Structure 1
């Protein structure tokens, strides 16, 4: 239940040609406290409830618990979330032994594209595709919970 991931800005749309699939995601936050975040997500027609703990000092790892819930439950919970819904399309791109998840944001975060790669350990190496840009792992302003409160359009 410990998630280890690294985040990067994306420098071009070349990932779209490499994507195995893409899915629209709508998500909101029931709680955005620094020590625990509670997220409600609609990923296509499937709902999820996710609890995340506080990140490690370097931002590489944190506790994550996720449970699939009915779509109707997710839709109901989204109605009582804190202000600032996240709307994005997630592209999945396989690069050697890793799958990169690239989120293209819309609404108040339009123009922002972030790639994430989950790792088995903090020291694990991976191949970096040509469209991968600056690393933003641990930079809290790129966390979805923060983008919901302080969207890209106001700080870009």
Structure 2
């Protein structure tokens, strides 16, 4: 099936990723729909806008349908105004390690203090090198999904 996203998610235990990062960008995102079977996300990443639809995760939490299209930042800004409560803000660092690219998100606002890393894979059993700053794996733990962090922020756990 096309449009499958296969990724694993981890807590981050130190800031060792920062000096290895090749980019850092601010992201603002909201959800038009947070139903776990079909989330609809609006994202402003730098000066670009995106509309993303994600399906339900498989049993392990590593694979799900994802469709995304770029929209103008003004369209994204207008759609953010229609989103459910709980707009997320974060700084994203892209960190190459081994043969993979890790995306490390430092959350701001009500999720401040939470730092998560994701790595996209070609298939669920793909092996990858783990950097020393990578902590506990939280793949499939629903409370760490961005859609759920918008509903129940980290600082309210």
Counterpart residue number, 2:86: 84
Give the counterpart of 1:49 among 40, 48, 51: 51
Q: Distance in 2 between matches of 1:87 and 1:70?
A: 19
Mapped partners of 1:114, 1:96: distance in 2: 18
Task: Report the 3-state secondary structure (helix = DSSP H, G, I; strand = E; otherwise coil) of the residue aligned with 2:77.
Answer: helix
**Which residue pairs with 1:24 in the alignment?**
26
Deviation at 1:96, TM superposition (A): 1.4
- How far is the alpha carbon of 1:34 from its aligned partner? 1.5
Q: Does 1:142 align with 2:144?
A: yes
Question: How far apart are the structure 1 equivalents of 2:155 and 2:47?
Answer: 28
Query: Runs (4+) of structure 1 moved beyond 3 Å?
Result: none
Normalised by the length of structure 1, the TM-score is 0.99
> For the residues of structure 2 that align with 1:133 and 1:13, how far apart are their CA atoms?
11
Q: Distance in 2 between matches of 1:110 and 1:133?
A: 17
TM-score (normalizing by structure 2): 0.98
| Residues 1:64 and 2:70 aligned together | no
Taking the aligned partners of 1:62 and 1:140, their CA distance within structure 2 comes to 13
Alignment of 1:82-121 (within 5 A): 82-121=84-123
Coordinate RMSD, CA, aligned: 0.3
**Unmatched tracts of structure 2, length 5 or more:** none
